Chains A and B, each alone.
Chain A
Amino acid sequence: MQDKHVNEAAKIVVLPSAIRAAYRAEESQSIQKVIRENLLLTSTEPYCKVQVSVRHASDGRPESLTAYMLRSYTYTVDVRKVRVGGDYSFRSVDASYAATDEDVEAWPIPVEPKPVLKPRMVFATPVPEIPTAKAAVVYLYNMATLLGYKCIKLLGANASLANYQKYLTGHLWGFVNIGHGNTEGIVLSDGFLSYKLLAGAPKKHLWPEVIYFNSCQVFNAPLQPAIMAAGARTFVGGRVNLLIGPSEEVCKCFWTSILKKALPMGKSLVACEKAKYPTPGCHGISGDLGRFKPIP
């Protein structure tokens, strides 16, 4: 009887890194070999999958591999750091690897959802106790769902830091937040989504999302440039303080115009603000101002 190691068939996925969208087949094979020989086949713990993030030195050469090892029988992830040479030759393993500040600020590992289940739009509010905020989210969710988009609605406690990070990095087509904010971030149910967190995201991480933060002052530095630098296709937000009530009407009008009437996004925002808001120039829009569809 053949003595097969429990992790011999474990899948190894090489993730895109901040500076590389993909790795050549030979590089992927070298990375997989290092992980298999030095982590999987030396462990008695059965794993179903290993996701590998490559860290590069400033000159672009590989420096280390961070392996997220997903256990087979529990929802546990073991994290190991493998130091490698420039040609992915094995150097050492840090078995007690603890996340550094840099890692804490990093975005979660992107997991590509199955195409059928992949949500295209997220509508969220951490303050559903504000009737107009909840009503706007429900309106937008229902409208987009009826138009055939797979949507997610996040209300109250579900409008959390973890969910926002998960969905914002999910390469959605649209993301709407209705809630409080300022020039540095937005307030969620369990904390503050700061521009500092967004600034840590790779360049195309938010692509091709049209992100609409119905929040005060968010269309200003440092938050607005951080969102654009992280790859948002279009960003809409408050330049100044936005009134609770009228601002949701602008938001609803905007999405109705671009989804149902297929009007250009830039012109839609101007028209909706003119029609629904007491003061002009309170909202800003940056990035692609054209039609929402086709999705680039």
Chain B
Amino acid sequence: MSDKHPNEDVPVVVLKSARGRACSAADRKAISRVVKEELLLTSMEPYHQAQVEVQLTKDGNPKALVVSLLRAYTYTADRVRINVDRNYAVRSIERASGGD
């Protein structure tokens, strides 16, 4: 029997940025990987979906990923901010819920 993590198949939805820009397929792939590796696969909490708002710098490079993690068994949204560099390498993670 395979030992599958409960969040392995959780869909990661990348929202349009505040400026209405959609991410490229390559960006979405990189974002999904970060969210999966840093949040979903390291959590014991089963999730239904992860929604990601990408925050950009003035010159259009990624600055942070604000992630809403929707739990699978309650209507709870856990909010996490992942600060990234322009290549989506993780700089830091802030786990306090936030409304930004």
Contacts and interface: CB of A to CB of B under 8 A. Distances in A.
A180 interface: yes
A217 B76 contact: yes
Contact of B99 (A178, A196, A215): A196
B48 interface: yes
Interface stretch (B26-34, B35-43, B65-73, B86-94): B65-73
B16 to A, nearest CB: 7
Interface residues of B, number: 22
B100 interface: yes
B15 A243 contact: no
Interface residues of A, number: 28
Nearest to A214: B75
A185 interface: yes
A190 B15 contact: yes
Contacts of B71: 180, 216, 241
A127 B49 contact: yes
B79 interface: yes
Contacts of A217: 76
A179 B15 CA distance: 17
A243 B77 contact: no
A104 B100 CA distance: 13
Contact of B97 (A130, A182, A214, A244): A182
B98 interface: yes
Contacts of B73: 243-244
Interface in B44-95: 48-49, 51, 53, 66, 68, 70-79
A179 B70 CA distance: 9
A214 B48 CA distance: 17
B15 A244 contact: no
Contacts of B53: 191-192
Interface in A219-246: 238, 241-244
A247 interface: yes
A191 B74 CA distance: 19
A181 B76 contact: yes
Given A179-B75, A192-B53, 8 more contacts: A130-B48, A181-B76, A182-B79, A182-B97, A190-B15, A191-B15, A191-B51, A216-B76
7 contacts: A127-B48, A178-B75, A180-B76, A183-B97, A190-B15, A196-B99, A244-B74
